[in-house]
Amino acid sequence: MTTARQVLEQSVVMFYQNYLPLCRINIKRAIVLLVTKQTTALGFTTESEWQIHSLQLRADVESSSS
């Protein structure tokens, strides 16, 4: 079973506006960019919306493809 710590240690690819890969960033940084609306999510495989939970915040993140 995957723990939350293992998920947060993974990385994601960040893309330019023309969908060329820019760099790899850790998922914690990606969440910060989504919450502060400095970037948008491209899409998800099963859901068009998901939630980020913390002790002080619950945020809905929508896919830009929906």
Question: Could you give the number of structural domains in the chain?
Answer: 1
Query: In this predicted structure, what is the pLDDT of residue 58?
Result: 72
> Which portions of the chain are predicted below pLDDT 70?
1, 43-55, 57, 61-66
- pLDDT tens per residue across span 28-44: 898 888 888 888 877 65
- Domain range spanning residue 16? 4-62
Query: In this predicted structure, what is the pLDDT of residue 24?
Result: 92
- Of all residues in the chain, the percent with pLDDT exceeding 70 is 67
Q: For tokens 């890969």, what's the residue?
A: 21
Q: Are 43 and 65 in contact (CB under 8 A)?
A: yes
Tokens of 52: 């980020």
Distance from C-alpha of 2 to C-alpha of 4, rounded to nearest angstrom: 7
pTM for this entry: 0.58
Query: In this predicted structure, what is the pLDDT of residue 66?
Result: 45
Give the side-chain half-sphere CA count within 13 A for 56. 1
